[in-house]
Structure 1
């Protein structure tokens, strides 16, 4: 699955299209090295296909590469973090 990062000055998103349906994980920038993961949107047509988890894993990899810390306000991102304590290096 291809995930694309769209980054603007104060916000951005990770987006993928699966079977013609778009899913996204959005964030707001707090500082040059800190973001708030604020929403994961996976339509019902994609539920159970691992799309949300793939978006979060892409977020984690991107944060590690760029030295960014994540504040997980989105309930889905927060839930995934609770299952993956090894992500604590990028989570606040």
Structure 2
């Protein structure tokens, strides 16, 4: 069973962690500050690449951001590429950096 857990420390740094049968196979590293969620890095275990797990993490992060009225800063190349590829889909949460 695939499960995504948001695990954050007291400084509001952490990750959306992806587990398959209780084994961590991926993560999307983030931090929260005020009304912003910054995404730094997304990584999936190489043995599970091509199964859409990065997209699951992206969907979870987007859903969390919308539910909590957060703007997303996309420092992660994967997330930035997805936001740039589909700007209309993420316009409500994307905080574009100049």
In the superposition, the TM-score normalised over structure 2's length comes to 0.83
Matches within 5 A, 1:14-25: 14-18=16-20, 20-25=23-28
Q: How many Å apart are 1:21 and its aligned residue? A: 4.7
Deviations 1:23-43 (A, max 9, x none): 0001123x2211210010111
- Is the contact made by 2:37 and 2:65 (CA closer than 8 Å) also made in structure 1? no
Hey, what does 1:81 align to over in structure 2? Answer: 83
Between the aligned partners of 1:21 and 1:33, the Cα distance in structure 2 is 28
Q: Rg: which structure is higher?
A: 2
Give the whole-Å Cα distance in 2 for the aligned partners of 1:17 and 1:2. 5
Match of 1:2 in 2: 3
Structure 1 residue ranges (4+ consecutive) displaced by more than 6 angstroms after TM superposition: none
For these two proteins, the number of residue pairs brought into alignment is 91
Q: TM-score, normalization: structure 1?
A: 0.88
Structure 1, unmatched stretches of 5+, are none
List runs of 5+ in structure 2 lacking aligned partners. Answer: none
Match of 1:49 in 2: 51
Stretch deviating more after TM superposition (52-61 or 4-13): 4-13
| Larger relative helix fraction | 1
